[in-house]
Amino acid sequence: MKCNFCNTDIRKGTGLMYVARNGKTFVYCSSRCYKYDRVYKRKINKKLLNERSK
C-alpha cells in the first residue's frame, strides 16, 4: 500500500486509514500526511465552490 499523500510505501500494520462517506478508503503513512491531505482537499473544494458561485 502507498500513502495517499506522499506516495511512500506503507508497511503492514503501520500508517492510518481513512474511510470517506462515499466508501472510498485512503491510507496515509502518518497523521501528518493525513492532515495535509485533508487540509489540501478542503482548500480545493473551497476554490471550486468560489469558481462556481461566480
H helices within 1-54, ranges in order?
31-53
Which residue pairs, CB below 8 angstroms and at least 24 apart, start in 6-14? 6/33
In angstroms, what is the minimal distance from the CB of 52 to Zn ion?
31
Closer residue to Zn ion in complex, CB, 8/14:
8
Q: How far apart are CA 41 and CA 50, in angstroms?
A: 14
Residues of this chain, 8-47, that bind Zn ion according to CB under 5 A: 8, 29, 33
- Decide: is 3 part of the binding site for Zn ion (CB under 5 A): yes
The residues of the shown chain that bind Zn ion, judged by CB under 5 A, are 3, 5-6, 8, 29, 33
